[in-house]
Structure 1
Amino acid sequence: MRNVTIILWILLMASAPRLLALNAPITTAGNVVTTGSTVILPITVTNFSNIASCDLKLFYNPAIATVTSVTVSSLISGANTGFNFNNTIPGAINFGWFATPGRTVPDNSVVFNIHFTKVGNGISPVTWSTVDFECTYYDGSYNELSDTPLSSFYIPGSVEFQGFVPTTIASSVTSCPGNNISVPVKVTDFNTIGAVSLTLNYDPAVLDFLPGENTSGYPGLSVNNPFAGTIIIGGFSSSSTGVTYPDNTTLCTLNFLYKGGATALAFYDDGESCEYTGPLGTPTLADYPQTTYYLDGLVGPNADTDWDGSDDTDWTNINNWTCGVPVSTSDVTIPVTPNNPVIATDVVINSLVIDAGAILTLDPAATFKVSSTLTNNAGTAGLVLKSNATQTASMLHYSDNVPATIERYIAGSAVLEGTKYHMVSAPVTQSSDPLSGLYLDSYLFQWQPTQEWYSPGIPTDIPLSSNRGYMIYYPGAGKTYTFPGLMNNGSFTAATVAGADGYDPVPNPYPSDIDWDAATGWTKTNLYNATYIWNNGNYAAYVDRAGTNGGSRYIHIGQSFFVQANAASPALIMNNEVRVHADVPFLKIEKDPDQLLRIRTEAGSYRDEMIIRVTPNATSMYDSQFDAAKFYGYEDAPQIYSVTPGQEKLSINSLKYSNDEQVIPVGFEYPVSESVTLSFDGMDSFGPETGLYLEDLVTGSTTDLRLTSGYTFNHNPANDALRFRLHLGETFGLNDPQKEVLYRIYTFNGNVYIQIPTLSGEKVLVEWYDLLGRNLGSSSFTPDNTGMITPPAGSNVVIVRVISGNTVFTQSLIIK
């Protein structure tokens, strides 16, 4: 039926007179580009008004594309319309359309869509026929419209099918320093390529460029080195079909002298520095994303290198190795050589084999990590970790039952005194059968169920438990102890046998330091979070970033430490995740967290410390995660601590922030009557709005810690141990005009304390008011050393006025 309609339309038009008074629409073929296999070319029109029919013919390059269909826009389709097209001749498409009545569409509307399918890469011009009757328009009155000249009414377009560049791969190569190396540059999907342009960068400190090779024979391909660090590869084919290679063809070969180290062979593409084109006259091929089509290479050291000790014992001397100084990926073998290697720096390798008869020594300053397997066929003498008075070699390894000899220097004294006792552990497996003879010439102390140290003297045949800690005393200047055996690796369970609130000495079992604050690797069950280590007459405490007496998160090789149970059946399990190279000689001082006050005391030959700090999530009670108990040290050493409302004595007392003044009792114990000085540090960590005062209940004095770094007092063992109170935060009180007079009026445990040094011993009048100004009573009062006075019964918020002559001191208080 449609063909009949078209024939009738043609006959009708043939009998009609030709009137060319009006212009035809301007018809434009679009310009489209795709990297796909199909594309739609839009045909747009301008001045398309009352158009009833058209015949159109276009030409294109059949080597680039073929037409699969033509579709009509909904703007000119529907009822009383007709359309057909003919694409039987390759490279040509003609189609006709009619509508009754004529149709009008907005300018620049798409009226037809021509569907192309890719035949090959390239650009195909899309042009209109120049034969007059093959491109015509008629209006609704059957008049043929003027389209002269044709070039003004029929605007050509184009279809471009872009191909993708080949995938270009710079190979990765390993070698030994001093060798010449060849790096193949390979290609895949290398089809009909007419031109090549590539740029690569490298590190000239690692490689010296040598002339490259045109391995593939691509026409005119050259490999140039315009300056150190850059390579330019280029070639051009004049063939109309370009050049095609099988996948994985080596396009060219780059040659270098390898000097050691590692460098990328990195393609550099600024838009033009890396590109391919198709055959002569075709456009540049698409290469986005560039990282998909240009794959960088790498030149680095050979993974295998053997020690030959050609020069000396220095691990870092390149002349001592068959293939360069080992790096983190190296697999190393140490055979028997005249010079055995010594590590004195930080070294990381992948794997290690020590042959029978060879020896690897780690100097005290060395840190050594073997990331994969470690095999020591030379026994305990083949791997030695040295120690001196300041450092001990540290090793991270991940293989079981590796024999080694671990040294640990211990300071001693010819005089029996508390400062030279050391908490120790045997850093070898239980299967190594450690005996007390490891600590030859030292007094060995074992922790008893009675929670005290006991020494059996200096026998050499007492079996030691590798999962427990000990204490020793060496009656000499110092000694280096050696521990031959198998190094601990992986999961380790310490012996925790104490009941609730009891202490157990537990070991660092590894040949490296361990981190008590490690994010993973610990299982701490029914334990407080604090550690305690004997340090020169007192215990160093550490918990949650804060330490006293040198307490640290890092626990050294061969060190033991106390943990405290907070319930029955405590457990402490660790694994390799807690091991670190902390580089600490014995204890590592931590940086104090914010808002931390440290109080130190020195008396006799000893010292002690306590901490009060403000930290989130803490309370005024004994917090298992944030506080450290007071662990008493040597009996002749001073002891200082704070006391919680629950009467627990703490070395580290963590409190939450409060707008209220917090009053913390501070205890001091020392068996000798003498002058003692307390020193203070960390006041600047608190904001200026926070008051910091130390009250001495014996003398009645109050010291503003922001105005002094120390307080000296005469100590008598007969004094109450809790002679001090630390006032932290703002006292609830009104601003007093007498700012030049130092005084304190505060509340504690339901009582009020009036401390005005200038009025000590004078009778004053004390008046009490509520917040509405109503008088609650008054009384005479003579301030003594304590200054304590009982407030009116039933009052909780009061204003206190202390009157002496013309001087009035006023404070408001919340009585708790």
Structure 2
Amino acid sequence: MNLNRYIFILAVLIPAVLRGQGLIIPSGAYVISKGNIVLQANWQNNGTFTQNTGTVMFNGNVQTLNGGPTVFNNITVGANSTTTITTAGHSLKAVLLSNGTLQAGGNLTLLSTAGQTALIDGTGAGEVLGNITMQRYLASGFGYKYLSSPFQHATVSELADDIDLGASFPTLYRYDQSLASSGWVHYVNPSDPLAVMQGYAANFGTGALPVTADITGVVNNHTVSLPALYNNHQPYTLGFNLVGNPYPSPIDWDVSGGWTKTNIDDAIYYFNAGTADQYTGTYSSYINGVSSDGIAGNIIGAMQGFFVHVSDGAYPVTGALSVQNNTRVNDLNPNFHKEYPNLSPMLRLTAAFADESYPPDPVVVYFEDTASTRFEERLDALKRLNTDPRAPNLYALSTDNAMLSICAWPTLKDSTGAIPLVLQTDRAGWITFKGQDLERIPAHWHIYLRDTTAKVTRSLQTEAPYRLYLNKGEYKNRFYLVFQRKDNAGPDPGSNNNAVFNAYSAAGRLYANMQNVAAGRCYITVTNLLGQVILRQELMGNGVHELKGPLSSGLYIVSFYAPQLQYAKKVLVTQ
């Protein structure tokens, strides 16, 4: 519907697109919009407006949004428009895209619910000026949450309606890795800044019901940089720095070219509040498409704080971290953090006081052709120790004694390999080891947990979980993950015994060819000689497949993963 005049609406259902100079909804009128409304002039709602889908688009030159409080689904400000929100109480459920200028004036709230959190689209070529309020839904208000501010000049006072800044035990902390003891520093002065791209630990109390936190300010946009980060190699902080998402939208940690990470490891670390003690919790980690717990991932929600590690070296090590708009994603429900899958063979082993239904602690091992047995900043995630005494601490040890929550290991080439594990418990009790997830493990690989003290070897693939009683303490040089290849086992029906793989380049393009693969399905990864994963892809159907990715001239390793078989080939690509 196209109307070259102001539209006065009494009652209407808008199913598709409504175009007009401006729109006035009089008092008592009711409008339901399922489509787009495109305006060249002003918006004035004095009645009732309901929009579950669709967008209100401001495409004029100078426009105002006024009238009574209105809940919008999407708002788009056109490239030539300056739109000013002049009345209070307006809110947004989904996406705000500004290709022009939106003057918010403190009159717009980005809503957050259990289902989704509104965001500002980072692809917009324009600006959003003036104060905006952003909400963040939390499924439980129990204990500490790691938060960050998406605004330029917000202060601690913004959290006063969410946490008790005057409590006898401080409820807000910043993190200082240079301290010799605990890195946590009380930070409850209402006038202190919530620094851009810094993370904070906020204690929301003992209530288990959902809460919605909110902060108000002028949003960050474009490139955001932290002051220098450091690793002073202190015995407690160990070079970890608490940072945060600086934008009013989720961001992708894995976006190539969107980050500057100088002397920053590739892993990120999240905190998960406990359910029994409001001051403790557990940590999860993510790196290279692998999640320690199956939840932590590369998508970092708005207002989310997280740890990064400044690389080890000649101390003190100086790191730099900055982020650009192209890392921002329009994910309305990132669940604060979620996993992006890696296609390599992977296993997740957990240890827990399972008899008491206490939380498990996982360690993940995955296999990469380019991995080594030493700690590698681009492939491995370090272990941040849990503070919840109900959860043990389980981690792998690299050959240079790094404590790993995620361990990249060379693809098995010998008949047997072993990874030492360490278990720490803050209480005595019955511990259960369980092979929680074994994914894409070739059929001729056999994986065991070995207890050298009890002289027990337990298959993680075919036997029941391993249960034993342990006293409080650290258990080192006792538990091992053991891997064995048994290539002489007879092929199963539907095996890949006769499978053929090949990879080659032609005219600057990369191709994979698979033949005689059972079910016509396999996974591939493409890595450069630095071990960086350029592409992951699932191939469906025997034959030739083009591997489309950001490939420049150079030498690449194409790895195929199919049941009972792995194959890798180096391919030279010339552009």
Q: Provide the TM-score with structure 1 as the length reference.
A: 0.48
- The aligned amino acid for 1:546 is V
Tell me by how many angstroms 1:388 deviates: 3.3
Q: Does the aligned pair in 1 maintain the 2:262–2:320 contact within 8 Å?
A: yes
Shift of the 312–645 alpha-carbon distance from structure 1 to 2, 3 Å rule, reads: farther
Q: Which residue of 2 aligns with 1:234?
A: none
2:212 maps to 1:480: yes
The Cα offsets for residues 220-278 of structure 1, whole Å up to 9 and x where unpaired, read as xxxxxxxxxxxxxxxxxxxxxxxxxxxxxxxxxxxxxxx966xxxxxxxxxxxxxxxxx
Shift of the 260–435 alpha-carbon distance from structure 1 to 2, 3 Å rule, reads: closer
Q: Which one of the candidate residues 411, 433, 455 is aligned to 1:657?
A: 411
Q: Which one of the candidate residues 540, 561, 567 is aligned to 2:284?
A: 540
2:323 maps to 1:563: no
- Please give the residue correspondences for 1:36-435 in structure 2 after superposition, counting only pairs within 5 Å: 176-177=1-2, 306-309=22-25, 311-312=29-30, 316=34, 326=55, 330=59, 335-344=64-73, 350-351=78-79, 353-357=83-87, 360-363=90-93, 366-370=94-98, 372-376=99-103, 378-380=104-106, 382-389=107-114, 391-396=116-121, 397=124, 398-399=126-127, 401-410=129-138, 420-430=143-153, 432-433=154-155, 435=157
- The aligned amino acid for 2:72 is I
- The aligned amino acid for 2:268 is T
Tell me by how many angstroms 1:663 deviates: 0.6
Q: Which one of the candidate residues 463, 471, 483 is aligned to 1:716?
A: 471
The Cα offsets for residues 82-110 of structure 1, whole Å up to 9 and x where unpaired, read as xxxxxxxxxxxxxxxxxxxxxxxxxxxxx
Q: Secondary structure at the match of 1:634?
A: coil
Q: Does the aligned pair in 1 maintain the 2:101–2:129 contact within 8 Å?
A: no
Shift of the 314–481 alpha-carbon distance from structure 1 to 2, 3 Å rule, reads: farther
Q: Does the aligned pair in 2 maintain the 1:400–1:488 contact within 8 Å?
A: no
Q: Does the aligned pair in 2 maintain the 1:407–1:481 contact within 8 Å?
A: yes
Shift of the 735–484 alpha-carbon distance from structure 1 to 2, 3 Å rule, reads: closer
Distance 2:368 2:328 in 1: 27
Shift of the 313–402 alpha-carbon distance from structure 1 to 2, 3 Å rule, reads: farther
Q: Which one of the candidate residues 353, 363, 378 is aligned to 1:610?
A: 363
Tell me by how many angstroms 1:524 deviates: 0.6
Q: Does the aligned pair in 2 maintain the 1:437–1:459 contact within 8 Å?
A: no
Distance 1:314 1:487 in 2: 30
Tell me by how many angstroms 1:332 deviates: 9.0
Q: Which one of the candidate residues 328, 332, 341 is aligned to 1:579?
A: 328
Corresponding residue pairs, total? 430
Tell me by how many angstroms 1:535 deviates: 1.1
Shift of the 707–446 alpha-carbon distance from structure 1 to 2, 3 Å rule, reads: same
- The aligned amino acid for 1:421 is Y
Q: Which one of the candidate residues 238, 241, 249 is aligned to 1:504?
A: 241
Q: Provide the TM-score with structure 2 as the length reference.
A: 0.67
Q: Secondary structure at the match of 1:594?
A: coil
Q: Which residue of 2 aligns with 1:695?
A: 450
Q: CA RMSD in A?
A: 3.3
Q: Does the aligned pair in 1 maintain the 2:76–2:97 contact within 8 Å?
A: yes
Q: Secondary structure at the match of 2:326?
A: helix
The Cα offsets for residues 278-326 of structure 1, whole Å up to 9 and x where unpaired, read as xxxxxxxxxxxxxxxxxxxxxxx86x76453465476646689689965
Q: Which one of the candidate residues 638, 654, 676 is aligned to 2:392?
A: 638
Q: Does the aligned pair in 2 maintain the 1:425–1:469 contact within 8 Å?
A: yes
Tell me by how many angstroms 1:585 deviates: 2.3
- Please give the residue correspondences for 1:675-686 in structure 2 after superposition, counting only pairs within 5 Å: 675-686=430-441
Distance 1:651 1:711 in 2: 20
Q: Which residue of 1 aligns with 2:262?
A: 525
| Structure 2: gaps of 5 or more residues | 5-14, 44-53, 166-170, 233-237, 274-280, 491-575
Q: Does the aligned pair in 2 maintain the 1:467–1:495 contact within 8 Å?
A: no
Tell me by how many angstroms 1:403 deviates: 2.4
- The aligned amino acid for 1:388 is T
Distance 1:314 1:354 in 2: 23
Distance 1:391 1:455 in 2: 32
Q: Does the aligned pair in 1 maintain the 2:229–2:241 contact within 8 Å?
A: yes
Q: Secondary structure at the match of 2:337?
A: coil
Tell me by how many angstroms 1:718 deviates: 4.4
Shift of the 731–667 alpha-carbon distance from structure 1 to 2, 3 Å rule, reads: farther
| Structure 1: gaps of 5 or more residues | 1-175, 180-258, 262-300, 415-419, 737-816
Shift of the 463–392 alpha-carbon distance from structure 1 to 2, 3 Å rule, reads: same
Q: Secondary structure at the match of 1:577?
A: helix
Distance 1:333 1:306 in 2: 12
Q: Which residue of 1 aligns with 2:297?
A: 552
- Please give the residue correspondences for 1:6-17 in structure 2 after superposition, counting only pairs within 5 Å: none
Distance 2:334 2:30 in 1: 29
Shift of the 313–594 alpha-carbon distance from structure 1 to 2, 3 Å rule, reads: farther
Q: Which moved more, 1:487-496 or 1:455-464?
A: 455-464
Q: Which one of the candidate residues 468, 473, 476 is aligned to 2:198?
A: 468
Larger Rg: 1
Distance 1:387 1:468 in 2: 22
- The aligned amino acid for 1:556 is G
Tell me by how many angstroms 1:473 deviates: 0.6
- The aligned amino acid for 1:626 is L
Q: Does the aligned pair in 1 maintain the 2:35–2:55 contact within 8 Å?
A: no
